[in-house]
Amino acid sequence: MSGRLYIFSKVTLVFIFLVVVAGGVVRMTGSGMGCPDWPKCFGQYIPPTCSCELPDDYKEAYLEKRKKKVLSFAKMLDGIGMESQAEKLRNDKSVLVAEEFNVANTWTEYVNRLIGVLAGIFIFVQGVWTLFSRKFWVCGKRLIALSIGLGFVTVFQAWMGAMVVATNITPWVLTTHMLLALLMIAMQLQIIKDAKPETPKLLDKGTQLLLLGALILTCIEVIFGTQVRQQVDIALHHADRNQVMDKLPEIFEIHRTFAIGIVLLNVAIFMRLKRRKNSSKASRVVLIIIASEALLGIGMSYLGIPAFMQPMHLVLACLLFAVQFGMLIQLNIAKLEYNSSSLGEK
């Protein structure tokens, strides 16, 4: 039973990553507002292929619906103590800017939502599987809790997706949406590990703390990355891609500085593991991903931020987080017994 769940949980992780890839493509093509409503698209389960299929007043109708959602969202933010963000939403006129119907954008966003639904189905089945398995109630209660918890996070993530649409891709809402995706990846990786427990490798606490620090830095870098991406989108309204780099604010320099810190810290982790003869393939994979990210970053800087590189940069960042988190949960929090082998010989 656990073997089959192990395979199923890996497939589920693939679908979660496909959602991230699809979201990156949506951002690359500017299709985020291709469907002005959610969960339907233009009020239909299968979206239109021509503006002639829409009523003449469709812009006004969907703007009114969006306005109600924004006001409801702002009211909720007031209730949890985020009054300043709520006030900004109420006063942000760009939130209520209507976009022209574009069939390519509409169907790109629609495919993104379909992939999200498929991922949700896999997560739901996984939760039901663990919940009704007697074996896991005996020895895998954390697995059950994570599977059910991931289902709730997925529902919340879907709702946040609706808020991204309703607020016309407001930066902090988009950042929250991205961080929830990383949380889903982390939870799914732990589910995979619990579905097929393996003998953990012993690791000294110092290296474990370095791994944790590298993971935190990666999360912070992702946050900065979403902010830089938003600034790129704003700059593209006033300049060509070749001129965007000169118009980015200080957040880009912070993003680049953090990248240097991530490189140095992960190299230190790799050297430490190698020196202690406990090097893993994952630590090498981390360095390969970081090198690829660096090349993409340089390419975007010197090639005028080609659109196709942006989702690649995002997906690699999520992959880096996944590999780092995987290392953290695979390597046991324990001090190495350096003299164990010599004691055995004696």
Residues 236-279: tens digit of each pLDDT: 777 777 777 777 888 888 888 888 889 999 998 888 888 766 65
Length of the chain: 346
- Is 215 found in the same domain as 171? no
Instruction: Indicate if 149 and 212 belong to the same structural domain.
Output: no
Q: Residue 293: how many CA atoms within 13 Å on its side-chain side?
A: 26
% of the chain with per-residue pLDDT over 90: 25
Residue where one domain finishes, among candidates 178, 197, 216: 197
Mean predicted confidence (pLDDT) in 150-176 = 82
The domain boundary residue, chosen from 170, 197, 224: 197
Q: Report helix angle 171-195 to 205-236, nearest 10.
A: 140
Range list of H helices, 237-280? 241-244, 250-275
Q: Whole domain around residue 238: which residue ranges?
A: 199-346
Residues 306 and 161 reside in one and the same domain: no
Closest-CA residue to 333 (of 200, 243, 219, 227): 200
Count of domains observed in the chain: 2
Query: Do 142 and 14 share a structural domain?
Result: yes
Torsion angle of alpha carbons 232, 238, 243, 249, nearest 10°?
A: -50
**Burial grade of 16 (CB within 10 A; 0-12, 13-18, 19 or more):** buried
Average confidence score pLDDT of the chain: 82
Q: Residue range 300-310: average pLDDT?
A: 82
| Whole-number pLDDT of residue 345 | 42
pLDDT tens, position by position, 108-135: 989 999 999 999 999 999 999 888 877 7
- 53 and 193: one domain? yes
Report the pLDDT value the prediction gives residue 149, as an integer from 0 to 100.
94
pLDDT at 342: 36
Percentage of residues of the chain with pLDDT beyond 70: 87
Section 204-223 average pLDDT: 87
Over residues 205-223, the mean pLDDT reads 88
Mean pLDDT (whole number) for 277-297: 85
| Statement: residue 31 has pLDDT above 50 | yes
Instruction: Decide if pLDDT at 333 tops 60.
Output: no
